[in-house]
Each structure stands twice: as structure tokens, then as C-alpha cells.
Structure 1
Amino acid sequence: MSNIDKALQHLSRVISEQEHVSPITYDGFLAELTAKPQMTIRNVFQLFYDMIKNYVGEGMDEYPDDPETINYVNYDTRRLFVENSDQPFFADRLFANRLVNHVEAMRRGKQQNKIYIFEGPAGSGKSTFLNNLLMKFEEYSNTEQGLTYETVWRLDRKILGKFAEHEVSNFLDKLASLLDQYELSQQQIIEARETLVGTQDFVEVPCPSHDHPVLMIPKHHRRAFFDDLFRNDEFKWKLFTDKEFDWVFRNNPCTICSSLYHALLDRVQNPVEVFSMIYARPLRYNRRLGEGISVYNPGDKPMRQNVLTNEQLQKRINELLRDSNQVRYIYSQFAKTNNGIYALMDIKSHNAERLIELHNIISEGLHKVEDIEENVNSLFLALMNPEDEVAIQEFPSFSDRIEFINIPYIMDLNTEVEIYRNIFGRHIDDSFLPRVLHNFARVIISTRLNTKSDALLEWIVDPEKYQLYCDQNLQILKMEIYTGFIPKWLAEEDRKRLTAKRRRKIISESEMEGDHGFSGRDSIKIFNDFYSAYANKGKLVNMSILCNFFTKWRKDLTPAIPEGFIDSLQRNYDYTVLQEVKESLYYYNEEQISRDILNYMFAVNFEHGTVETCKYTGEKLEITHEFLINLENHLLGMVVPIERRLAFRKETQKEYTTKTLTQEMMVEGRSATETGLYQSLLERYVYNIKEKVLDPFLENTNFRRAIKDFDTDAFKTYDKRIRSDVTFLINNLGNKYRYTKQGAKEVCIYVIDNDLAKKFANS
């Protein structure tokens, strides 16, 4: 066998296995229904929901144990909008939650009488979103998980008869005698008979409205039928009680299927024989053919012929039923998207006319085709720019039929960065110090947010107290919340005040944002200018370069950026990297710290000048004012007035005697290191070590040079202690904060040269 034959056979086998599924009998369909009821009984709304959940998954809540969680989860939409897409769409966290919530409501509630309009400014990616969504819907419907069924009739010639058998024989006998002169063979007469009678045993009549096979059961018999068919289990309870299955008992089959059913029942007088002519076949959605998915652009002109039919099929139906008036095989283009998706790309030009035409269809679920009423139970989707709303304002009764879903510019900084990576390559991260690339995204997003947030100001009464971390408009804080992250720099009392109600109010403000500022196209152009100018210059892009770009090189962009935002972003960055360097530099003897704290807890209970053995450490302590000051320097800092020290000792002694010893240790049985007082003192001790950790190094001029020479031969010339400290610092920055060696060196030099330790000394 040649390679060509092998390739063709393999291709044929794969296509047969994956793409060709023959229609199944109604009995076979019912067997499938009882085996997999949840998958088999699905209309387009349920299928659409299953498709979204299949590609998106359940999502992740970073705060699952928080009693004030609002289920604002992180959905991974890459499989839905990015993978295998020629033009990926990046959905930020806000839009992903909005979309999933609408789809869940669509499945749970009343599914008809709505058109879902995705509204957003030009450049927000609406068209890309809808194209990718429909592509994945079509793809999913051709998988085993997305399999749904539609009705196809096979009108049995043996049951209905095309001609009476004796009429055929008499006709052929006369034909044979007339054509003896042509010496017609017996085989040719047999072939003529087969041609006349028809080589197929049935006439196949597909339902143009893609009716689900369960709708072929007479409406008033469905509840009793399903009661007999299903055992009493969870699905049966859902089928009879959940609103998502209302359609099973409410919807009617199309007029063609209904007419066929009654005509056949009148003819054969046996419902079992009628159902033997009903088959179920997989419903294949095909956008290009307009089967199940129809998409219209504003420039697409309306069809000249609104009534569609199949004259050849109509003739065959008439011949079998011997009554041309019983079944009329006519339908409109809306039938092709019944139980499918009807989509309008932008409400303007001809699409504005189509939207108005949908008014009655959406209201009643019906469409008139000549004198026949056609069922239209479709998922109606549309895209709209805000300025095009005038197209529907003339029809106030239409307003309650429209569900608007905002699709604004990106307001999640992680998604904005992901767009840069997709367009320019993931290697762009290698050109930036950590957090600088995300800060670029923060500048872009700041132009898309409203400068005043009533929800944030109601929560954070005094924004000034967060001036080290945030701007005066609290936009930096809002961006963090939009990404699903609650900053650690929030005070404990404000963290507790972030109730579910407040958090929902903050998130809800996103509905009024993202329609102004730098568009998606603008941000890509701006980033391209920035990246081309500063990347790959032998030095990683830092915050100073970022700030200079927006304030000096591209001054034309400054008016769009909120006043003071870049300064606040710089301050936030400086404070954050200072803490990272401190965190990476300090190391301490945990055992020694624990002994110091236990000794202090014990010593504050005795008079000065006494000598006592600490019952927690076993050390013999000479309790003096100097002894306590040495320990307090780690707990309070070096420069603390004596009054504050004495007050702190008194507070510590009071908590020790009234709570730590008498309640936590004696009653609850905790060890000294498990008490609240110990944990509080430990936190103070560690904090003060970190705050002062840079002081001795900043006074050493060799320290900066050693950082610059790290990982070079010159580094070996420094004394062992400096080499050990610098190596420890560089490695920690890499392990804890994902700095490269070059990045760690540059951020350390940045901290030292900008004297950040002194800048935030009193913070």
C-alpha cells in the first residue's frame, strides 16, 4: 500500500470516527436521554453556559475563608478567548466575572425575550470578543461534551406507500409490451421498477428550526411521559422544578414538525409508528453556512427572499401524504438560528433595521411567515458603541427586553500586561526591573478610571494616611481591588471595615469606568514607543526611566494622567523596593530573639536591682534599667523618650499579669511562646530589625561597590563579611521576589543612590 493510500485511509477513518454520526432512532435517543439526561436535554442557553464553564472552569477565590468574600474570582479565560485564536481577546477580571454572572443568570432565569448587547467604546475589542466567542461555541458543539440533538423525520415508504404495488405492476407490464421492439432486457425492467418506486425506503425531512427531539412529545403528555421515563433522582427533581428546564414543558415544535406529526397520526392511526419515523441527529452549528449561528455586519444587505422552502422536498412530502395542504415546508432565515445564536456586529446601518425587526420576535418568540407562525427561541447577541444607543431610544418598550453588558477598556493591570506580552513577546519582562512593567500598565489604566470614588472615600475616611503607598484619589488601591488583591499595607481597622457590601460597591463602580482614557490601541502604541526607546540598552528599565517617559519625553500624554498619580506611583514603588531589600538583607537568630522576648516578659514584673532566674529560659537575670533599655531598643527603636519606655513597660506588665499568665497560660494551657503578648512583641522586634538593617551597610562605602562587582572577579577582593552579606542579599532578592542577578544588583544600587532608607526613615 502506498503512502497516499495509507494517508487517505487514516484520514477517512478519523473523519468517520470524529465527524460522521448517523441519525439515531427515537428509541435510541430516549436511551441516550436516560443515560446522560443533563447533557441530552439542553437548549442553546444551557449549551452556551456549559461551553463557557467548560473553557473557563470554576475560577479561583484568593480569599475563600474570608466571611466578607463576594465571590469575585479569578477566571482563566485563555482557553475561551486566546488559545487557537488568530486574534486573541484578553478579558480582564472585571469583565470575566460580569460575563460569567450573566451567563449563569441566563441559564437559571427566564431565557427568552431578551437581547444581550455588549456595549463599549471603540477600541475595546468587542468584535474580537464576539468572533472568538462564536468560534469556541461552534468548536464546542462538535465535541462529545457539546453534543446536542435536533429532529429529522424519515417518512417510511413502506408504511405510507408511494404508489399501490398493483398500480406499479400494471404500469410496467404495459410499458414492457410497448417497448418490445427495443428488446428491453429483464434486468432493465427491474431497474426501471426500482427507479419508479424509489431506491430509498424513506424520505428524509430535516427540521429547519433545529427543534429538540423532546419537543416531538405532545406538550400535554410531557410531564407524565418524563415521570414514567426517569427514576426518582436528582435530575428528575431538577427537570420538574428548575426554571432552566421550563422550555421542555413550555415550548412547541415548529409548524412543520407539528403538521407532520398530526398528518402522520391521521394517516397511520398509531403513535408508535409515527415515533418510529422521528430520528435524532447531532446538531452541527456552522457559522459560515448560517446553520445555528447567523452573524450580520452593518453592511450586509437584507435578504430579498424572506420565505424559504425546498420545492423538491415539498413535492415528495405531498406525494407520500397525498395532501399538499397538510404540511407546508416553508420557513424564514430566523428558523435557521432557532435554538442557536443570532448576532449583530454593531447596531448601525442595516443592523439597526434588523434590531428593530427583532422587537416583535423577542417580545413574543414568534415570527410570521406568510400565514404561518414560526417559533424563534434564539440567543440574541449584539455589539454596540455608546453613541449608537439612539437606534433604540425611539422604542421605549424595547428597553426592558435589552440586557446591557459592559465591555470597557481593560482595568485589570495584570491583563493589560498580558496584552503587551502577547503583542511584543514574553521576553519583554527581561528588559524591566520587577514591578516596573506593571507600573506602566497602572499609568495607562489611571486614565480610564474616574478620579473620584465615592465607594473608596466612604471606606477610607483619611486617604492621607496612605500617602506612602497610594495616590490622593486612591486609584492605586482601586486597581489592586480590581485585580482581586487586598493590599497588605492597609491598616487593620480598614481591612476589617472592608465588608462585602463595601467591596461590591467598589467593584460596581467599574460599570461607570473604562469608557474614556487611553484605548487599547492607544496603549499599544504608547508602549511600543516606550519599549523601543529604552529596552535593550544594557540596563534594565527602572521607575526613573518610566517617570521621565511620561513627564518629559511624552509630555503630550500628561494631561490624560490624573494629577499627582505618577509621583504617588514613584513613592509607592520606592517604599516597596526598600522593604524588599530590607527583607532580603536581614537575618537573625530566632533562638536569641525568642530568649530576649521571654526574658523581657518575665523581667518587667520585678523591681530594678533584683536578680531573678527566668522560668522560661533558665537564664539568671540582673534586672536593671539598662538591661530593659537594651531589650527595648529592639522593641521600640533607639530614639524613644523615657516616658514612652516606662509606659510600654507598664502596659506589658499589665497584659502579662491580667491575660497572658492568668488566662492564656494557666486556664487555656498555652505555652509562653503561644500567647498573644509574645506574638505582639515578636512582631515589634522583627520590624525594628528590618527597619535598621541597612544602617550599618549604608555607612560602609565598600558595600555599594561590592554590589556592583558582584558575580565578577573583582568581587573576590572584598572581605569575607561583605561578600557574605552581598551574596545573601542578591540570592534572597532572586528567591523571594524573582529578581535576576542583574536586576537585584540594579535595584540595590537604586535604593542606595536615591537614599530611600533616609527618605522613609520616619515612616
Structure 2
Amino acid sequence: MMDKIDEALKRIILTQEDLDRYEPQSYRDFLHKVSRQPTRILRSIFQVFHDMVSTHILPMEDDSKFDPESIHYVGYDCSPLFVEDSDNPFFADRLFANRLVHLVDALRRGAQQNKIYVFEGPPGSGKSTFLNNLLMKFEQYVNTEQGAMYETVWRLDREVLGHLSDPEASKILEELSRFSNSFSQMYKDVQEENRKSSEGLAPQGFVEVPCPSHDHPILMIPKESRRQVFDDLFKNDQSKWELFTEKEYEWVFRHTPCTICSSLYQALLNVLKDPMEVLKMVYARPYRFNRRLGEGISVFTPGDKPIKQTILTNELLQRRINDLLRDSNQVRYIFSRHAKTNNGIYALMDVKSHNTERMIELHNIVSEGVHKLEDIEENVNSLFLALMNPEDKANIGNIQSFSDRIEYIKVPYVLDLNTEVQIYRNIFGRSIDEHFLPRVLHNFARVIISTRMKQTSDALTEWIDYPSKYNLYCDAHLQLLKMEIYTGNIPKWLTEDDHRRLTAKRRSRIIAESEQEGDKGFSGRDSIRIFNLFFSTYGHRERLINMTVLKEFFTKTHKELGKSIPPGFLDSLQRMYDYTVLQEVKESLYSYNEEGIVRELKNYLFAVNYEAGTDVVCSYTQDTLKVSEEFFKRIELRLLGDETTNEQRQQLRADVQKQYAGTTLTQEVLAAGVPLEKTRLFKDLYQRYVYYLKDRVLDPFLENENFRRAIKDYASESFKTYDKKIRTDVAFLIDNLRRRYSYSQAGAKEMCMYVIDNNLAQTFATKKPSAAPGKNV
């Protein structure tokens, strides 16, 4: 039994590799490691923070990377950083993810000096969850080999220093030997050393003194010698070029060690007379971060009272150092709490109460990069982060010089509908999708997000001259269009002219407006509460949740919620949904012979060059054509619509003949060798033709009651009683809806019934979309 217990305990003990990794290594060995991996070892807190975020945030495919008007508004998968292994996941939408990536990119480039980074957002936006998850992943990252930072440890060799002629030296070393690896445990360790001495135990051969400010070991090389040392140390490659030229590595040549390390170096140099002998007593080890102990990461809440003891020291050690150096002013062994987060992260959770005092205290530290301890200057190179509600800005607003020291990063309510849906799925389970018809769940998210957006947009107004032309797809204030752009999608229903006018400058203006949105409306907590109310009311019905149910919830069941939704938004959302599902049903029922369409259009393009009454052989299809008015009319009505006049058909024919003869045939087919079906004119006519066929595809079935009943009876025994043609059409329709648009079988049947019962085909029959194909002819 005891053997099993021992075996079980071994599983929780650190491996030898973990123990060895934190064992200090000599300065020579450390420089060897630096020479092999300079860009990984020589990293400041800002570079490591950038690398941590970049490691955990995965960029998605940039669909617009070949678009000359792209603003590189990329989608990022932030799950590894904020969701995975987190008790309380934070879901970053596309807007916030881009802000965060831009921030860490700026940090890496060296733009981090003299700033406090304040993440500002309204209550319920998830700021605290965001910061806690961010710090948790950072702590995990820096305590791995990949993310390790390094700190200085002094090992004062007894044998070397024991030969000093100074009779006080041995006394000094005795007292230094009692100095521990942790300043917070100093007095306990001294007592333990005394106990060991009284028991006759042999003292260790060196005194280990960790730098309280976690100075990077590379800073122990005298500042004036570093460039020459690095030039000798590194081979001439890309890493050396970056080290000597990139702004992000300026700190390597500019920073100086803390006063304690500087004093120790100078004191030992005075005694040993040789910098190489001094550096033999310098060791390096990974900087072990521990938020709970305040090592490397310190987080303060508004209720945390300030610590009375602002200066940390050791009087016994200080006295012995004074005796050794015979100059009490040469080394002051004092440091502050800020030393514990030097080269680390200092964070404030909400700037109010005691955190307001801490924020104001940071003003001088951020301004100068130093912290004054009596007459000693302490280096502070930390990443300062804070969370703030918008109303708390007044707490620091009276300090004018503080304004240019703060960079605000917005953490608003979610404005990306895909992220909003992710939140619902995370809290209520991915199975909720099974209770909704496709797009209805996302439409619920659109309703919630509409309350968080401004109803007017200067950027959209300047871009879209007549919003009413999109009334089939969008609301009067174009909020639905902006939502699509926020997700990174440029809707296909935009006219070619408007798509062309969507320049990079206009895109940037639209995205920039998100900085002024997301601080009002339904909060994140409100959204979860409302969805829970909605789903508990309708989620257990036999029928799937559709748009009728969604609209009823906000307009009848809970009218008080509907008051927060922009006027007319629900009607526009319903209209957009109806039009979209109608097109899906038409697309799924469409089964015309594509090869036949191509053949007919080739014959038409050839025939427009001849007068009616002519018999010709088409050179593209080898078909014998009887060119007549009836021949032209049959095709032109499909290109322009049934209500087209003779004058309009004649005008189309003339335009096609002119473009065919002047550009298509001469420049594309003959000169460039482009096949006719790949020319611009042919593609445009083909798009017109198919659009007409799809638009009319439902016409034969609308008056056929058997078609409706067959859909209702699909997959039942009764379905076998219908004639073969109806069974084939219905099966084709249901199968396409499932395959192309991810409907379940029940959802596909219900959607078809919805389209038929609400007469959507007739409703939109006279409302031809302004973005219809065929604009170029």
C-alpha cells in the first residue's frame, strides 16, 4: 500500500527538468544561450506580452487581402487566449480583437514608453473577465520555456572574497550568507541559518542575492561596452541586424541596472579590480511569475488598502554592507513594492476608491520611468494596465498632464453578431441551434446589437446616397449594413457602384464609428437574461423558432424590451429575412439546364448581328438559326422581364450588338483569345438570364395545392401517393435546402411552408431589387 502511495505522490512532484530550469546558470552559459537565441532571450516585458498574445490569437483567412481597398480588418480566433481552460470565458468580437492586436503590435515596436493602458468600458462589458483571463494566460506563458524571461542572481563566492585582507570581510560574508533567495522571507531564513550554524552544519560556498527588481542579466554588462560585446558575441545574421537597428531592442543598450545591482557591481569591482571576475559572480535564471504572491504580476482592486510600509529593507544586511564598503552612502539596500513587478505587469481593477490613489501615484513613475525612494531612484519598467468605467474618468480628470500618459482601449458591449451568438452557445449549449430555423438565432443577436448602436451614421450617409434602394435587405438607418461590415462581410446585395465607392478610407471611417458605440443599450448581462427568457418561453415547442416568434416576443410578449429597439428595425429585419429565405427556396428549386442556357445565349449574341428573316449558322454552336422577332423576344423577355416593352427590348438588342461588335468580339475573343462564355458581356447576360429563371421558378407551383401538401407530407407514407413529378421536385427542393443552407429536414419543410403560406413570392413579385444583376449592359 505504501508503494502505491509513493507512486501516486511522484505524479505531483516537479520533474527534474522543471527543477533544473530554475537553477541559476553562470553568466558564461547564459551568454552562450543568448548567442543562440537572441530574439527570444533578449525580450522586455512589452515584447514578451506581444509574443504571448500573438501565440494565443490565431488570425483567420483575410478574404479581402487581394482587395486594393482592404483595410486589413482581419478576423481572429481569440479562444486560446480568452476561452480555453477559463472558468469564465471572455468572447472578443472582431472589433475588439483588432484593437488588441494593434495595441500589442505597437508595444513590440517600442511605442510603450511612458503610458498607462486603460481598458474602458461600461458595466457588464466583461472588462474584469477579460483582464483576469489575459493575466492567467500571461502567467502560464512566461513560466514556460517558450515564454521565459530572465533575472539576475548574484552569487558571492566565499573562497574568492575570503582572501581579502580586510578583517571585516569574514564577518560580512557570515551575515550575507544568511540572506535568502526571497526578500519577503529574509528574517525567517536568517533564523534558519542561525539554527544550522548552532547545529554545526557547514555553510554553503556562496551567498545568493537575487535582484529585487528582476533586472535582466544582460544589463550587468556596462552600458558603454554593450555594443562592442554584442558585436563580438553574435554572428552577422538577421537577428544581429534586428538587435542593432530595431526600436524594440533599444532597451538593451539604453537601460541600466537597479541601484542595488549597480552598487554591488561597483563595490566588487573596487575590490576585485577585474570586470570578468565580477561577472563570474553574476548568474541568470528564469523569472518565476506568481500573481498570488505579487511576483511579476500585481493586481489591485479598489478595496485593497494601501500598504503602510512603502520602503522595504534589511537593517542587519545594510549595516554589514556599510561596514564592508566603509561608506554608508555607496549602497542603499532599499526597494519598493514596485520592484516586485519591474519587468512585469502592474494592474488596477477599476479606477475608484484606493485605486484612484494608486493611479495618481503612477503619474510620476510613468512620466520619468523611475520611482523615488527617499533620495534613491528605483527603475520601473513595467506594463501598467487598468480597467475603468466611463464615469470614473472624472477621478483623474483634474490632472491635465495625465491625459497624454493614458491610452484608452475600448471594451464595449459586443457589436459583432457572430460573437454574440457564440456567447449564447457557450452559456446555453450548442444544442440551442437545433431549436431555431437557420439565421433566426443570428437575427436575435441583431436585435440585441441594434440597441447598442447609434441610429445615425455619418460615414454610411456619406457613402450611400439613397438608403431606400436597399429596403428589401436593410433598415432605413443602415444598421443592418453596418453590422455586416463589423463582422468583416461586405454584403453581396450592394450595387456595383456602391461596392466600388467603398474605399479604404470609407471602410476605416465606418469601423472607427464603433469607438462611439457599444456603451449603451442591452448590456452583456441583459442580453443573457433576455435570451434566457426568450428560450425558456419558446425553446421547448414542437415547431422550430422562426421570425414570427422572434418578432412577437419583442412586440407583444415583452413590449418593455421593444422600447429599446430602434423604431422600424424589427420590420426591416423581418423583410430582409423574408426576402432571403424566398431566394433560398428559389435557388434550391432551380434546376434548369445550364448547358442549354449557355447555348441559347451564344446563339443570341451571334444572331443580333443579323436582320430578322435571315437564316444563319451560329459559329459558336453550329446551330442553324432562323433569326426572327419571335426568336429575339423569347430570350429578351428572360433578360429584361415579362413587363418589358418593345422599345426596351430593341434598346437592349442595340446595346448588346454594339458591345459585342466593338469590344467582345474584337478585343476579347479575337485579340485576347478569351472564350465567348468568359467575356464580360456574356457573363452579364448569363447572370440576367439565370436571375429571371430563378425569380420565376416558383410560379408553376404556387397555384398547385398538391405541391404544398406534398411538402407537408414529405418523408411520410402519404408522400408516396403524389405523382412522380411533384415527388421529384419536392425531394430536390428539400435536399438542396439541407445541403446548401444547413437546414434540418424538419426545418426545410417548415421554411417552405412559411414561404408559401405567407405569399412571399407574390409580396416580392413587384419589388425588383435595385441590386439586380445585369447593370453593365
- What is the TM-score normalised by the length of structure 2? 0.92
Specify the SS of the correspondent of 1:279.
strand
How far residue 166 of structure 1 moved from its aligned partner, in angstroms, is: 11
How far residue 692 of structure 1 moved from its aligned partner, in angstroms, is: 0.3
Residue range with higher mean Cα deviation, 542-551 or 15-24: 15-24
What letter corresponds to residue 214 of structure 1 in structure 2? I
How far residue 48 of structure 1 moved from its aligned partner, in angstroms, is: 0.3
Contact 1:551-1:558 at 8 Å conserved across structures: yes
- Aligned residue for 1:188? none
- Aligned residue for 1:554? 558
Distance 2:202 2:320 in 1: 11
How far residue 312 of structure 1 moved from its aligned partner, in angstroms, is: 6.1
- Aligned residue for 2:173? none
What letter corresponds to residue 112 of structure 1 in structure 2? Q
How far residue 317 of structure 1 moved from its aligned partner, in angstroms, is: 5.5
Residue 29 in structure 1 maps to residue 30 in structure 2: yes
Distance 2:66 2:329 in 1: 66
Residue 281 in structure 1 maps to residue 282 in structure 2: no
Specify the SS of the correspondent of 1:473.
coil
Deviations 1:663-719 (CA, angstroms, capped at 9, x unpaired):
222212222222222212111111111000011011211111111111111111111
What letter corresponds to residue 434 of structure 1 in structure 2? P
Residue 150 in structure 1 maps to residue 151 in structure 2: yes
Distance 1:195 1:324 in 2: 34
Which consecutive unaligned segments of at least 5 residues does structure 1 have? 170-190
Correspondence for 2:484 among 480, 486, 490: 480
What letter corresponds to residue 29 of structure 2 in structure 1? G
Structure 1 residues 59, 208: CA separation in 2 closer, same or farther (over 3 Å shift)? farther
Contact 2:617-2:624 at 8 Å conserved across structures: yes
How far residue 632 of structure 1 moved from its aligned partner, in angstroms, is: 2.1
- Aligned residue for 1:752? 756
How far residue 165 of structure 1 moved from its aligned partner, in angstroms, is: 13
Residue range with higher mean Cα deviation, 649-658 or 347-356: 649-658
Counting only pairs closer than 5 Å after superposition, residues 340-419 of structure 1 correspond to structure 2 as: 340-419=344-423
Correspondence for 1:203 among 204, 207, 210: 207
Residue 129 in structure 1 maps to residue 133 in structure 2: no
Residue 45 in structure 1 maps to residue 46 in structure 2: yes
How many residue pairs were aligned?
A: 742
What letter corresponds to residue 105 of structure 1 in structure 2? A
Residue 697 in structure 1 maps to residue 701 in structure 2: yes
How far residue 328 of structure 1 moved from its aligned partner, in angstroms, is: 3.0
Distance 1:154 1:245 in 2: 28
Contact 1:207-1:256 at 8 Å conserved across structures: yes
How far residue 47 of structure 1 moved from its aligned partner, in angstroms, is: 0.4
Deviations 1:363-417 (CA, angstroms, capped at 9, x unpaired):
0111111221111111000011111111111110111101011111110000111
- Aligned residue for 1:565? 569
What letter corresponds to residue 272 of structure 1 in structure 2? M
What letter corresponds to residue 342 of structure 1 in structure 2? Y
Correspondence for 1:656 among 654, 660, 674: 660
Distance 2:196 2:110 in 1: 58
Contact 1:163-1:197 at 8 Å conserved across structures: no
What letter corresponds to residue 95 of structure 2 in structure 1? L
Structure 1 residues 150, 523: CA separation in 2 closer, same or farther (over 3 Å shift)? same
Specify the SS of the correspondent of 2:207.
strand
How far residue 454 of structure 1 moved from its aligned partner, in angstroms, is: 0.1
Correspondence for 2:548 among 544, 547, 558: 544
Structure 1 residues 209, 629: CA separation in 2 closer, same or farther (over 3 Å shift)? same
Deviations 1:583-623 (CA, angstroms, capped at 9, x unpaired):
11101112211111111111122222221111111111112
User: Identity over aligned residues, as a percent?
Assistant: 63
Which consecutive unaligned segments of at least 5 residues does structure 2 have? 171-194, 769-777
What letter corresponds to residue 70 of structure 1 in structure 2? I
Contact 2:161-2:169 at 8 Å conserved across structures: no
Residue range with higher mean Cα deviation, 381-390 or 303-312: 303-312
Correspondence for 1:465 among 466, 469, 473: 469
How far residue 8 of structure 1 moved from its aligned partner, in angstroms, is: 3.0
Counting only pairs closer than 5 Å after superposition, residues 150-299 of structure 1 correspond to structure 2 as: 150-161=151-162, 198-299=202-303
What letter corresponds to residue 647 of structure 1 in structure 2? Q
How far residue 491 of structure 1 moved from its aligned partner, in angstroms, is: 0.3
How far residue 60 of structure 1 moved from its aligned partner, in angstroms, is: 3.1
Contact 1:411-1:482 at 8 Å conserved across structures: yes
Deviations 1:530-585 (CA, angstroms, capped at 9, x unpaired):
10000120010000100111111111012211111000000000011111111111
Contact 2:589-2:697 at 8 Å conserved across structures: yes
Correspondence for 1:684 among 659, 669, 688: 688
How far residue 650 of structure 1 moved from its aligned partner, in angstroms, is: 1.4
Counting only pairs closer than 5 Å after superposition, residues 23-102 of structure 1 correspond to structure 2 as: 23-102=24-103
Deviations 1:609-655 (CA, angstroms, capped at 9, x unpaired):
22111111111111221122222232222222111111111111222
Contact 2:152-2:217 at 8 Å conserved across structures: yes
Correspondence for 2:632 among 623, 628, 633: 628
- Aligned residue for 1:3? 4
Specify the SS of the correspondent of 1:721.
helix
Residue range with higher mean Cα deviation, 316-325 or 627-636: 316-325
Contact 1:162-1:197 at 8 Å conserved across structures: no
Contact 2:197-2:203 at 8 Å conserved across structures: no
Contact 1:331-1:369 at 8 Å conserved across structures: yes
Correspondence for 1:761 among 738, 744, 765: 765
- Aligned residue for 2:184? none
Deviations 1:478-499 (CA, angstroms, capped at 9, x unpaired):
0000000000000000000000
Contact 2:168-2:324 at 8 Å conserved across structures: no
How far residue 192 of structure 1 moved from its aligned partner, in angstroms, is: 10
Specify the SS of the correspondent of 2:146.
coil
- What is the TM-score normalised by the length of structure 1? 0.94
Distance 1:322 1:713 in 2: 104
Contact 2:162-2:169 at 8 Å conserved across structures: no
Distance 1:516 1:42 in 2: 40
Contact 2:268-2:278 at 8 Å conserved across structures: yes
Specify the SS of the correspondent of 2:533.
helix
Contact 1:160-1:321 at 8 Å conserved across structures: no
Specify the SS of the correspondent of 1:295.
strand
Contact 1:113-1:364 at 8 Å conserved across structures: yes
Distance 1:162 1:471 in 2: 87
Deviations 1:113-166 (CA, angstroms, capped at 9, x unpaired):
110011111111111111111111101001121011010100111111299899
Contact 2:21-2:286 at 8 Å conserved across structures: no
Contact 1:55-1:80 at 8 Å conserved across structures: yes
Deviations 1:421-440 (CA, angstroms, capped at 9, x unpaired):
11111111111001000000
What letter corresponds to residue 529 of structure 2 in structure 1? K
